[in-house]
Structure formats: structure tokens, C-alpha cells
Amino acid sequence: MFTLFTIVFDMDKKAKLLIVEDNPEILQALQFFLEYEFQLITSLTNPNLIPSTLRAEQYDIVLLDMNFTAGINTGNEGLFWLAEILKIDPTLCVIMMTAYGNIDLAVKAIKIGATDFVMKPWDNDKLLATLNAGLKIRKSSIEFNKKHENSDQSNMDLEQQFSEFIGECPAIRRVMDIVDKVSQTDANILLTGENGTGKGLIAKEIHRRSHRTQRQMVTVDMSSIPVSLFESELFGHKKGAFTDARQDRIGRFESASLSTLFLDEIGNLSLNMQTKILNVLQERQIVPLGSNKVIPIDVRLICATNKHLEKMVMEGLFRQDLLFRINTIQIDLPPLRERGRDIELMAGYFLDKFSVKYNKGQMSFDHLAMLALKSYPWPGNIRELEHSIEKAVILSDYRIVQADDLLLKKFPVQGNNLAEIPASFDEYEKNIIKNALLRNMGNLSNAARELGISRPTMYKKIKEYGL
């Protein structure tokens, strides 16, 4: 199943909508629901027509299904079309749609460039709200690009201004202590942790503090390299080495010589690819495809993964000798939900960053918005936090960001276990009110309605318990 919505932002007209979906029932349901919301709805059953359709008409929002081949639920097809759509127009807001609750896939989609994701079966009001939010984001992006189309260097300076790794919790202090000790060495580093925990930022920080910092760090996303291009991409090739090899190409290992090579998502490598990497690390040399010339390399290797490599070794999915090679020092990055006050620090940092970027002036969070931020589980970690704050800045009509502006997904609040039984009725009541606020993402009226009390009573209790 494949779904694509596309909307053109026009302040004076209803938007145009393109749906690509091979399931006639879903197509019919969407057309029936949305026919009065858009000026035009066009339907396609073949996703291969997406490029020509996008080039023939200017669109603003894409709602893209993660899977469209029967029996395949990996989401890779949706990720492929996401990348293709953004190649045609990088400013498009792409919203992924899936019937499978795979947070890792959603995070990966956001990493590639998706704006948001929604789950099937969809809630009509939430779907419309997400599409309307996407329109605002698209409009702001267009206005921002027009305003700054001749100031690429100033944008680069702005990004560099906010490039430091932020954190004060004990776990992050331990991480930075290790970074201090290993940066000036050439020891191979393995960075582990969930998606979005900042492994790439730590790799950049290690390189910045190293004696190799005068040369640019080379980064490779190992999960994105097709098997057929693996050797060419990493080791280079000579002209004529294979079909379409029209000129010599330097591989990533040679490009990173005398610098740092960052291999991201190394846990996704096949055993055959692992063997090739191991041979290069052992011999400290490469041979480009189509050549007999041995080229020595001098790289400082940093790898990253969100997988449990030791477990993969036990299951025969990862070479133990390669694991020994890449993790002279292993640094584990904690998930955002375990970092306490760091959430507040990073939220403020991103708020300042995007309020400057979008010319919104000095902005701040109200109390309930901050409560929602600190209580949300952040399955996408830092990347999801950054993305949520950027959306809130774009969508907020005021300089005070409220909980509703954050558009956070609802997660069930876990009940207390026996070890967490409240010591008093006041503590029990406080927990009930706090959980109601969390379930309703800080919406005071909805939380009060759920508990069967008035809004003034709810507000009084919030002040009384310091929530």
C-alpha cells in the first residue's frame, strides 16, 4: 500500500491534493473525507508516476505511506520514495503514514527529511491538523528561503553557532570525560545508543579535539550504501572498472587519510561487507576496483550503531574480530528520557536557535509546555526534540510556546508499582492530576474534563502541588 498526498499552499484557494494508493478502499475513504477540504483531489495507483506528477504540478505537502507491496512491512519502499521526492523539491513537507507502529522507522524517516508521521487507522481531526500544520511549515520554509536565498554563508555560520553538544546530567558528564581522554589519541571508538541520541555530534566533537582536526572528517552512512556500490564507495575505482565507471574515483577511506573516518550504522553491514572492512583495518591499505595499486591509509576510525553488537556476535550476525578492531574504546550514549534536566536545557537551546532562524523574536515555554516536554518519553531522542521545537516555533502565533503547539504524540502513562505507592493522599492526588495533564499533553481543559472537575479547580491544584 502506498499513499501520497500533496498540497499546494495558496492563501486564496483551497489546497490541491494528490493521493497515490493501490488500495481502492483507502482511496475511496480518503477522497470522501477530504473532497470538501481541497480544491482538487487527484488519484494515482502507480507510485512510479510520482516524479512526473510532482514535476508537472507544484505541491507543498506529501503524505507518504511506508509500504505499498503486499506482504512487505519494512518501510524501505516508503523511505526510497521519500528520498526521491526530496530530490525533486527539498522544501516539500513530507508526512509519513504507516499501519505499523515502528518508531525506529519513523525516526529514520525524519532523519532523511520527513516532517512528521501519522498512524493508520487515522483520526480524521488529527489528520487534518497534521496537514494544516504541514502547510504552515511549508509556507514558513518558502518565506525563509526567499528571505535568505542570497545569504548561504550566514546560514552556515548560524548552524555552526549551535553545534556544541549540550548536557549536564551525570551520564553525559561521564561521556564527555571519556571524550576528553580519547580525543588526542588515535584509538578506534565505538559509539552506541538509540537513534537520535547524538552519536554523530560526539564523533564530530572527538574529531574537533583531535590532532587531525585540520582535515575534514569523512562520514559514511553504512546503511545507505547499496551492496553493488560498496567497494567503489569505500575503496574507490579506476575508469572502466565496471559499467558506468567513466572516470577514476577516490573512495572514502582514501579521502579520510590523515583525518577521521566516521562509519555510521555499522551494525547494518552484511558479513561479506564486514570482512572487507576488517581486511582494510588489518592491512591499513586499500586497492581500488580495477587497479592493482596498493594505497596505504592513515585514518582514525569512529563507528556508531544503535544495535547490540555483542548479541549479534553471539547470533553469528557480526564478526567478533571486527568488533575487537572497532571498539578500542566504547562510549554509550543515554537516551534523552534518562537525562533529566538536560531536556529543559536542550529545549531552550533549540527554541533560541529556531526563533532566530525564523525571525520570531525572543520566545519562551509556558509551564505546561515545559511539563509536557520533560514528561514525554522521546522515542526519537534529541532529533525528535529538535524537530518538535522547530515545528512549535513555526506554528506558534505567540512568543509563548504552549503545550498544544508542540504536537507531541500521546503515550500511555505507566501506573505506579508497589515501590512507588504514594505516602499520602496529597501525593496520590498530585500523581493523578499530573498523569491527566500528561495524557492530555498539558491541555488544562481536557485534563479537567477527564477528571470531572472544573478548570478553576484544576488550576488551583496545579498551583498547590507545584506542577
C-alpha 16/C-alpha 2 separation (Å) is 19
E strand or H helix at 411: none
Judgement on whether residues 299 and 205 belong to the same structural domain of the protein: yes
The CATH number of residue 395's host domain is 1.10.8.60
Judgement on whether residues 38 and 96 belong to the same structural domain of the protein: yes
Instruction: Inform me whether the pLDDT recorded for 153 exceeds 50.
Output: no
What does pTM read for this prediction?
A: 0.60
The dihedrals phi and psi of 20, each to the nearest 5 degrees, come to -115, 115
Helix axes 342-357, 367-375, angle to 10 degrees: 120
Instruction: Inform me whether the pLDDT recorded for 323 exceeds 70.
Output: yes
| Burial (CB count <10 Å: 0-12, 13-18, 19+), residue 177 | exposed
Cβ count near 42 (within 10 Å): 14
E strand or H helix at 395: helix 381-395
Q: Which residues contact 245 (CB under 8 A, 6 or more apart)?
A: 232, 237, 238, 239, 289, 290
Nearest residue to 447 (alpha-carbon basis) of 378, 394, 379, 372: 372
The CATH number of residue 439's host domain is 1.10.10.60
C-alpha 141/C-alpha 390 separation (Å) is 11
The dihedrals phi and psi of 170, each to the nearest 5 degrees, come to -55, -40
Residue 324: all three cell numbers together: 575487537
Cβ count near 363 (within 10 Å): 20
Q: What is the pLDDT of residue 271?
A: 92
Tally of domains within the chain: 4
Q: What is the pLDDT of residues 235-289, one digit of tens each?
A: 988 887 777 777 888 889 999 989 999 999 999 998 999 999 999 999 999 998 8
Nearest residue to 113 (alpha-carbon basis) of 131, 137, 149: 137
Q: Which domain holds residue 208?
A: 170-333
Judgement on whether residues 292 and 184 belong to the same structural domain of the protein: yes
Do residues 117 and 98 make contact, with C-beta atoms less than 8 angstroms apart? yes
Judgement on whether residues 404 and 416 belong to the same structural domain of the protein: no
Instruction: Inform me whether the pLDDT recorded for 89 exceeds 90.
Output: no
Q: What is the pLDDT of residue 428?
A: 64
Instruction: Inform me whether the pLDDT recorded for 20 exceeds 80.
Output: no
Judgement on whether residues 392 and 274 belong to the same structural domain of the protein: no
Residue at a domain's end among 387, 408, 429: 408
Q: Where are the alpha helices (DSSP H) in 263-364?
A: 271-283, 309-314, 320-326, 342-357
Q: What is the pLDDT of residue 102?
A: 64
The dihedrals phi and psi of 168, each to the nearest 5 degrees, come to -130, -5
Strongest mean pLDDT among 1-10, 23-32, 195-204, 238-247 = 195-204
Q: What is the pLDDT of residue 156?
A: 42
Judgement on whether residues 10 and 87 belong to the same structural domain of the protein: yes
Judgement on whether residues 367 and 390 belong to the same structural domain of the protein: yes
Do residues 380 and 338 make contact, with C-beta atoms less than 8 angstroms apart? no
Judgement on whether residues 353 and 329 belong to the same structural domain of the protein: no
How much is the average pLDDT of 456-464?
Answer: 80
Q: Rounded mean pLDDT of the chain? A: 81
Residue at a domain's end among 147, 180, 201: 147
Which of the two residues, 72 and 170, has the higher pLDDT score?
A: 170
Judgement on whether residues 404 and 418 belong to the same structural domain of the protein: no
The CATH number of residue 276's host domain is 3.40.50.300
C-alpha 181/C-alpha 206 separation (Å) is 10
Q: Which residues contact 120 (CB under 8 A, 6 or more apart)?
A: 97, 98, 99
Reduced to 3 states (helix: H, G, I; strand: E, B; else coil), residue 323 is helix
Do residues 79 and 108 make contact, with C-beta atoms less than 8 angstroms apart? yes
Instruction: Tell me which of 30-34, 170-174, 211-215 is least confident.
Output: 30-34
Judgement on whether residues 389 and 465 belong to the same structural domain of the protein: no
Which of the two residues, 335 and 155, has the higher pLDDT score?
A: 335
Q: What is the pLDDT of residues 356-387, one digit of tens each?
A: 888 888 899 988 888 888 888 898 899 899 99
Give how far the C-alpha of residue 61 lies from the chain's centroid of Cα atoms, to the nearest Å: 18
Instruction: Inform me whether the pLDDT recorded for 206 exceeds 80.
Output: yes
Judgement on whether residues 82 and 193 belong to the same structural domain of the protein: no
Do residues 79 and 36 make contact, with C-beta atoms less than 8 angstroms apart? no
Judgement on whether residues 404 and 422 belong to the same structural domain of the protein: no
Instruction: Inform me whether the pLDDT recorded for 145 exceeds 80.
Output: no
Q: What is the pLDDT of residue 312?
A: 95
The CATH number of residue 121's host domain is 3.40.50.2300
Instruction: Inform me whether the pLDDT recorded for 149 exceeds 90.
Output: no
Q: What is the pLDDT of residues 29-71, one digit of tens each?
A: 878 887 877 777 777 777 778 888 888 888 778 888 877 776 6
The residue type found at 453 is I
Q: What is the pLDDT of residue 47?
A: 74
Residue at a domain's end among 364, 390, 408: 408
Q: Which residues contact 320 (CB under 8 A, 6 or more apart)?
A: 313
Helix axes 342-357, 152-161, angle to 10 degrees: 170
